[in-house]
Structure 1
Amino acid sequence: MESFEDTEDPFPIAKKSKKKQGDGFKGMGLSHSILKGIQKRGYKVPTPIQRKTIPVALQGRDMVAMARTGSGKTACFLIPLFEKLKGRVAKSGARAMILLPTRELALQTLGFIRDIGKFTDLKSCMISGGDNMESQFEAIHGHPDIIVATPGRFVHLCVEMELKLNEIEFVVFDEADRLFEMGFGEQLKDICARLPKGRQTLLFSATLPKSLVEFTRIGLSDPVLIRLDVESKLSEKLECNYIWCRQEEKTSVLLCLLRKLAEMHANRYEKPQIIIFAATRHHVEFINTILGLANITSTYLYSNLDPSARKISVGKFRNRLVQALVVTDIAARGIDIPEVGVVINYHFPATPKLFVHRVGRCARAGKSGEAYTFTTKEDIPYLLDLHLFLGKPFDPSQLGRVPADLLEEDQALLLEWHREKADLESMENVCNNGYSKYLKSKPGASNDSIKRSKQLALSVNTSHPIFGTDITKEGDDLLKRMKNYKPKATIFEISNFGVKEMKQKRSYHEGAIASHRKRGQNEPIPTAKSKRIKLRADDNYVPYLPEDHHSEFGLAVNNFEQAARKVGMDVMGDEEKHIQLQDRMKKWDSRKKKMVGQKTTQKKIRTESGVWISATYKTGKYKQWKDKSKADEQDDDDEEEGGARPDNRQLQIRGWKNAGPGKGKKVRSELKRPEQIHKVREKKLRAMEKSKKKKPKGKGKPRRK
């Protein structure tokens, strides 16, 4: 596998063309329609990752590309895609396919396709979960040139429609590591088995590990590896801030921070948009409600939200109708909103890689940005892991508090809202319960970071620089003295019982207690085990871990150690629905005379590609849609041939089925022509007039004598 690092540029033509404004893309030999779309999109000079990847992709080589978030990776595969497809070919099937992990990222990529490919006649469609399958059946029958899809729904359509992907020439896996992390390995294997061998495959991601086994298994042929900005995982224009607080203070700290940011950016023409990341959807709804009470326009987004509602929320934020977007980690990857200037981590990210993706929503494309992370005492091990991952030393002076006087104002305001709004208290209780469940599933920090955090014993008493003045020195000294004060009297001396005996014991062991405290302040007490390790590490022990061990460990996708931590033995379900599910999984054994567990093997079917997948993918919806819409078994042509003869779809509308040479069987169509509709209406009007004439006017029934 060839590799291009960021030390030298293997394509000097693109580098020389960068000297003139706007000549970077022209030096790549692109067609006029694509260059026009690039200029319409607003791209002037290619980014470093674009200068290295686009020429390689234009040569037809398979490629694995890694660059930090916000570097313009989407254009890296769209521009070669348009150049390779050239123009529309209506009779053939799809010729390019882009697979992405989330619906929001698919919508964003579809928007890029329509912008850059505006002056080409290429047709594209999106296939994702949550949309109507009948409309997706119709989109596939329209012979799109480019399919933008999420793996789960696309496999469902492949199995339902028995799709043949023989015409695919160009395949892109965007956010490749996330595709494997989300459990799409089985679906990707089935899709790759359906693809032709002569295709070109590109993999893109912001964080790719060195071990590319999982990615090369999906069918890359002699790929080129391009890794840029590997050492600096975060943008140089991103300012990271950490605010020390307690768990119960986070909401009031958030209000203080938002008010301070409004003051800092008051002179700007447009206020920066803010993304707030929370751990659970309950916190997302709670924070959105609090922001509404604080007169801060906001919307929210999480995975369980309706797809149309998710689309509306992103649209509001993208069009600057609201200032803040409260989200879970569903929006941590790929979402590109250029005006985002601030990212707030309400909860500390579970992994360092997730932190990189979260804060990467701002400081994109050369712009500056700010990231604020709320840090509690329990988050210190994760903070240490993060700095090991980034390769930067941790400085305790980076942590700062919100001044007490500012915090008390917002805490009093929150208490008042809780008294006025009865729903807030119940929402907060739900958040606390959800957070306790979230902590059970949260991956733990490394053991070394946990030990180091205990040795640090941080006590942050200074205010954060963005809040201006620090806490007074006298108050700082007083807090330190209060924290370090340890009374000599024991609990046994609170009452009069045993006072004399305890004083005698203390005077007898006073020397040992003093030496123990002195050792505790300077260094931990040595044990036999630590002595052996120290002797071994000094002279005779050779470290075997590489220098970038922490970085690669954080980037790993299917790491055995991470997976082993999540493995546990469930003795009993912790929720009512889980307990009921366990009861339903049992059946009566007549031989053993008791209820026994039964095997829960999900039914599988073997696809044409030879991959075993879940049987739920074959539901028969496509056959029902074909019978309902009178669609042909063969693909329909959307365009007329030469403008003289109508295509099959138009012939079907006129009442002909399987139109073609030797096929002229007339069938009844469900669609009516305008003259047929007028004829039915006139017939009804004549019947109504005829019935009125027959009815006698002003005469009732004769009375009986």
Structure 2
Amino acid sequence: MAKSKNLEDQDLPGFEALPTQDRVETNSQNKKKKSSGGFQSMGFSFQVLKGITKRGYKQPTPIQRKTIPLALDGKDVVAMARTGSGKTACFVLPILEKLIAPTNKPMPGKNLRALILSPTRELALQTLKFVRELGKFTGLTSAAILGGESIEQQFSIMSGAVPDIVVATPGRFLHICIEMNFKLDNIKMMVFDEADRLFELGFGEQLREIVARLPTSRQTLLFSATMPKMLVEFARAGLTDPMLIRLDVDWKLPSTLWLGWISVRAELKTAALLLLLDKVLSPRTPQAVVFVATKHHVEYLNLILQQAGITSTYAYSGLDPTARKIALGRFINKKCSVLIVTDVAARGLDLPALDTVINYNFPATPKLFVHRVGRSARAGRAGRAFSLVAAEDVAHLLDLHLFLGAELLLPTQVKEKGDLCPSGVWGAMPTGALELRHQDIVAWERNHSEIEEAVRTCSRGWQQYIKWRESASSEANKRAKCTPAPVHTHPYLDDTSDGANDLVERIKNYTPNKGTILELDVKNDSPMYMAMKAKKKAHGKAVQQTRENKKLMAEGKLLDINLNNISKKKKKEVKRDENYIPHQASDEHTEAGMAGRKMIRTESGGRVPASFRSGRYDEWRKRNAPDQRDNDDTEDNASRGSGNAPKPVSEFRPRWVKHNERVAKKKAEASPKEFRNKQQIVKERLRKEKLKQKLKFKSKHKKKKRK
């Protein structure tokens, strides 16, 4: 406990932290707030409290207790906390409270007063839903500006009665601002949600351009699970005297999350997944999320689960946005049991009913593992995470445990089995059941051409994936070579006797003492026998040393012996010439990348693609000029109290809905004509005559062929 306190008190350079006296006071105040009702004691207005109660919140989480009071005081905040700790409410509630204050009334034509930037579409839609639920009784309007949606629909959102709160992805929002020449002068609050992920996805230039357009009097809130160096530099430039809040950073994973490591050969992973799902999916825990490396694995596993009779859906970044939304909706509404996703869904998504996460492909970095399994065990709920570990993943597993500071247990060290099995055990799958399942999968791949093609595509995709996947540390690779995979079945899946496990262990470690196969039933003067005798004489000591190392490996001493005995090769020192001038510029690759596409310079001096100012908004404005005047008239009537203002069209409609509306409109506008004029009658007669001639020609041609 003392260690966690010290880590929490450490401050990052460039950020202001809470003084010790203030921390003591806030701790004492928090104790009082617990007894006084939590959210009621934070000074929220009645409309916001009503939304909190309707949402079902009772007590604020630790990160909410520390962040919300500072945000309500108008201070810039940088908050770091693990996933599932309630960070979204930390910025939504202060935004609602600040915007309904009488001092922050919207100005004519400048109604946009709060901007929330999210890294992905799914997280942005989830945040928008959260804003609308908590702000249900405040009367504030909100909308989302996302890539993949109709930009003309978004023109209508941002050109009419602009919403009070906008949740957006950086690329599309900057496109809208430049295309419409949209001003952000009235922004009161700016939020960067999952800021580290924003930079990982390459939104750094867009973020800096958006910040340059914001007023200096704004309040900025930045929320992140980690604090990379690039994000620290950005926070120093974009925030004014920020208060740093670090919470639960030392634990990294929630205490209610149960971890299980399943050792399996790479070619048997699919069979292991089916066995695991048969064990995990039950009436009490009916759903699971499976994380894979590429979109090809997603489509392959979806076909396999269909053959196995398990209902599933899937989502990945290359999928149509509407299809992704429908897939997540099916899973959230419990229409299917398994959701197969890539890392696009590893951050920010809140799946309330989720109990189980399975890593089909082991994550390349510890941070990615934390965010994957963070989809379970959220907001104090219990959860579990299984990871399939092949031989090539052992080094990454060792790196992950070093990062978590956790102990890797073997099945022989654990007595409990089944649901009572403790967290952190590394075991194998039941061999018999695994082979039977693998035979089913081989039969499906042989009998279904679609699955057979998916297997070939997966193998090619995996070869490309491992080329750019981040490798494990050199120390972990050395330890992985000396770490044998467990033979005993994982206690959670154990359905075999101890005798069978001991027999498998003995067979694995068996080494013949009498001789090799070349020396059995052979005469002493044969060439094979003489050759093996000479080899043993030359390499006998090395063979004996290897056998001794195997014994020491079981005791965990092999790594130290290898490090002492292996002579370290001296690396050749690279001689550098001080007078050498490189022929390539330091920014050569950046300039080459920008040369491939036309760039324009913005108001802040930055450079963005020329497609951001293509004139589409001007064209849209000309086409919708009458509609725009009508909208202005209806808004004026509504402001005068007529009450006949039309409701705004929802900005999230699938494309097929818009298509059907256009078709219905054309049918309604087309007036039915009972009588035809002379030209139409003649045209119809000529068409029928041509058709008759074609039919006669075809029939004559067929008769000639028969003759």
Give the TM-score band, short-chain normalised: 0.7 to 0.9
Distance 1:486 1:618, change over 3 A: farther
Aligned positions of 1:297-308 closer than 5 A: 297-308=311-322
Partner of 1:10: 26
The letter for the 2-side match of 1:296 is: I
How many Å separate the matches in 1 of 2:19 and 2:518?
68
Contact 1:282 1:430 in 2 (8 A): yes
Distance 1:436 1:452, change over 3 A: same
Partner of 1:526: 564
Matched, 1:207 2:226: yes
Normalised TM-score (structure 2): 0.77
Name the SS of the counterpart of 2:492 in structure 1.
Answer: helix
Partner of 2:686: none
Name the SS of the counterpart of 2:238 in structure 1.
Answer: coil
Matched, 1:399 2:426: yes
Partner of 1:467: 493
Partner of 1:669: none
Partner of 1:140: 158
Structure 2 unaligned blocks of 5 or more: 1-14, 412-424, 553-560, 572-585, 647-667, 679-707
Per-residue deviation, residues 664-684 of structure 1 (Å, max 9, x unmatched):
xxxxxxxxxxxxx99x97xx9
Distance 1:358 1:504, change over 3 A: closer
Matched, 1:93 2:111: yes
The letter for the 1-side match of 2:564 is: P
Name the SS of the counterpart of 1:465 in structure 2.
Answer: coil
Q: 2:210 aligns with which of 187, 191, 211?
A: 191
Deviation at 1:516, TM superposition (A): 5.9
Aligned positions of 1:59-138 closer than 5 A: 59-86=73-100, 89=106, 91=108, 92-138=110-156
Contact 1:276 1:326 in 2 (8 A): yes
Q: Which has the higher helix share?
A: 2
Q: 1:328 aligns with which of 336, 342, 345?
A: 342
Aligned positions of 1:33-44 closer than 5 A: 33-44=47-58
Name the SS of the counterpart of 1:639 in structure 2.
Answer: helix
How many Å separate the matches in 1 of 2:388 and 2:343?
16
Name the SS of the counterpart of 1:10 in structure 2.
Answer: helix
Q: 1:500 aligns with which of 516, 520, 530?
A: 530
How many Å separate the matches in 2 of 1:324 and 1:505?
56
Name the SS of the counterpart of 2:372 in structure 1.
Answer: helix
How many Å separate the matches in 2 of 1:230 and 1:9?
22
How many Å separate the matches in 1 of 2:405 and 2:229?
16
Partner of 1:243: 262
Distance 1:283 1:487, change over 3 A: farther
Partner of 2:382: 368
Distance 1:341 1:503, change over 3 A: same
Per-residue deviation, residues 47-70 of structure 1 (Å, max 9, x unmatched):
111111000000000000011111
Deviation at 1:291, TM superposition (A): 1.3
Aligned positions of 1:153-552 closer than 5 A: 153-209=172-228, 213-262=232-281, 265-266=282-283, 268=284, 271-397=285-411, 398-456=425-483, 458-473=484-499, 475-485=501-511, 496-497=526-527, 499-504=529-534, 506-507=536-537, 510=540, 513-515=543-545, 517-518=547-548, 521-522=551-552, 523-524=561-562, 526-527=564-565, 529=567
How many Å separate the matches in 1 of 2:431 and 2:127?
46
Per-residue deviation, residues 462-503 of structure 1 (Å, max 9, x unmatched):
111122334533553454444452677579879943532542
The letter for the 2-side match of 1:226 is: I
Contact 1:95 1:169 in 2 (8 A): yes
Q: 1:611 aligns with which of 606, 609, 612?
A: 606
The letter for the 2-side match of 1:24 is: G
Partner of 1:28: 42
How many Å separate the matches in 1 of 2:331 and 2:529?
68
How many Å separate the matches in 1 of 2:86 and 2:512?
57
How many Å separate the matches in 2 of 1:501 and 1:153?
73
Per-residue deviation, residues 150-204 of structure 1 (Å, max 9, x unmatched):
0010111111111111111100000000000100000001000000001000011
Contact 1:300 1:327 in 2 (8 A): yes
How many Å separate the matches in 1 of 2:25 and 2:136?
31
Contact 1:90 1:638 in 2 (8 A): no
The letter for the 1-side match of 2:619 is: Q
Distance 1:47 1:528, change over 3 A: closer
Name the SS of the counterpart of 1:466 in structure 2.
Answer: coil
Moved more, 9-18 or 605-614: 9-18
The letter for the 2-side match of 1:231 is: D
Deviation at 1:206, TM superposition (A): 2.3
% identical aligned pairs: 47
Name the SS of the counterpart of 1:19 in structure 2.
Answer: helix
Deviation at 1:419, TM superposition (A): 3.6
Contact 1:5 1:228 in 2 (8 A): no
Moved more, 409-418 or 253-262: 409-418
Partner of 2:636: 640
Distance 1:320 1:690, change over 3 A: closer
Distance 1:130 1:470, change over 3 A: same
Deviation at 1:373, TM superposition (A): 0.3
Distance 1:508 1:309, change over 3 A: closer
Contact 1:492 1:499 in 2 (8 A): yes
Per-residue deviation, residues 617-654 of structure 1 (Å, max 9, x unmatched):
22211111011101779x9587337854999x99xxxx
Contact 1:192 1:218 in 2 (8 A): no
How many Å separate the matches in 2 of 1:17 and 1:54?
13
Per-residue deviation, residues 366-403 of structure 1 (Å, max 9, x unmatched):
11001000001110110111111112233344211111
Per-residue deviation, residues 245-282 of structure 1 (Å, max 9, x unmatched):
011111111111111123xx44x3xx332111011111
Distance 1:516 1:465, change over 3 A: closer
Deviation at 1:10, TM superposition (A): 2.4
Contact 1:50 1:75 in 2 (8 A): yes
Per-residue deviation, residues 535-573 of structure 1 (Å, max 9, x unmatched):
xxxxxxxxxxxxxxxxxxxxxxxxxxxxxxxx9x99xxx
Name the SS of the counterpart of 2:608 in structure 1.
Answer: strand
Distance 1:90 1:636, change over 3 A: farther
Contact 1:65 1:227 in 2 (8 A): yes
Give the count of matched residue pairs. 593
The letter for the 1-side match of 2:251 is: S
Moved more, 203-212 or 357-366: 203-212
Deviation at 1:527, TM superposition (A): 4.5
Distance 1:642 1:502, change over 3 A: closer
Name the SS of the counterpart of 1:257 in structure 2.
Answer: helix
Distance 1:309 1:8, change over 3 A: farther
Distance 1:520 1:483, change over 3 A: closer
Name the SS of the counterpart of 1:453 in structure 2.
Answer: helix
The letter for the 2-side match of 1:386 is: L
